[in-house]
């Protein structure tokens, strides 16, 4: 049985990593956020898998590359956050973030990756068609989920999916698409 789960959030600046964490904790969208929130610990009995869980935010503006590499090597699951209204933040998932994570983890002990598409409130269409080929290409990507920190849509699901992926890393690759309801 796993003792603790460390969930690390990475991704391009301004995609909403800090807002996601604060929306989860406060159950309210914060209008102003710091660049980075301190590590948050959720007691085991308040989580779906009953494992004490740490949520770790990252900010390029506040932290060094070395600190990032250290967090990557300590993480049990990594959420790569992009913004559904920002193509560049999606491109960087494969051109930057996945190679960087792979370079700082052992091939034998790769951690599960979750793709998190934030700011769903700003678009009419899902980013799933763009994301699906990426999911198919990388074995370590376990789940892809779209959410809105602003509307508190799928926020608790992001963290429960991450926790599940960490606790059951040998589980079959799940193409678990949490699509929002069709927008009318």
Note the residues at the interface with ligand GTP (CB under 6 A): 13-19, 33, 35-36, 59-61, 118-119, 121-122, 148-150
Residue whose CB is less far from Mg ion, 51 or 147:
147
**Distance between CA 32 and CA 97 in Å, rounded?**
26
Positive or negative, the CA dihedral 163, 164, 168, 171 is: negative
**What's the angle, vertex CA 9, arms to CA 5 and CA 11, rounded to 5?**
155
- Cβ atoms 118, 82 nearer than 8 A: yes
Minimal distance in Å, beta carbon 58 to Mg ion? 8
Minimal distance in Å, beta carbon 148 to Mg ion? 16
- Pick the closest to residue 99 from 127, 72, 128, 59 (CA basis): 72
- Cβ atoms 116, 82 nearer than 8 A: yes
Residue whose CB is less far from ligand GTP, 144 or 167:
144
Minimal distance in Å, beta carbon 1 to ligand GTP? 32
| H-run or E-run covering 26 | helix 17-26
* Binding-site partner at residue 149 among Mg ion, ligand GTP, none, CB < 5 to 8 Å by type: ligand GTP
Q: Does 59 bind Mg ion (CB under 5 A)?
A: yes
- Cβ atoms 62, 75 nearer than 8 A: no
Among 9, 11, 16, 18, binds Mg ion (CB under 5 A): 18
Q: Name the residue whose CB lies closest to Mg ion.
A: 18
Q: Does 94 bind Mg ion (CB under 5 A)?
A: no
Q: Which stretch binds Mg ion (CB under 5 A): 32-40, 73-81, 119-127, 154-162?
A: 32-40
């Amino acid at each position: 049985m796993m003792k603790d789960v460390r969930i690390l959030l990475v991704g391009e600046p301004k995609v909403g990593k800090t807002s996601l964490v604060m929306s989860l904790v406060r159950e309210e969208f914060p209008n102003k956020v710091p660049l980075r929130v301190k590590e948050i610990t959720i007691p085991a009995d308040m989580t779906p898998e009953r494992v004490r869980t740490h949520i770790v935010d990252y900010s390029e503006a506040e932290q060094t590359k070395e600190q990032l590499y250290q967090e990557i090597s300590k993480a049990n699951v990594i959420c790569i956050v992009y913004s559904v209204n920002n193509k560049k933040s999606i491109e960087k998932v494969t051109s930057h973030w996945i190679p960087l994570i792979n370079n700082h983890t052992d091939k034998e002990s790769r951690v599960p990756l979750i793709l998190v598409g934030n700011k769903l409130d700003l678009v009419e269409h899902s980013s799933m068609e763009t994301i699906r080929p990426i999911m198919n290409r990388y074995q370590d990507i376990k789940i892809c989920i779209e959410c809105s920190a602003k509307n508190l849509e799928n926020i608790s699901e992001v963290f429960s999916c991450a926790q599940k992926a960490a606790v059951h890393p040998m589980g079959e690759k799940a193409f678990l698409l949490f699509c929002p309801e069709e927008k009318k």
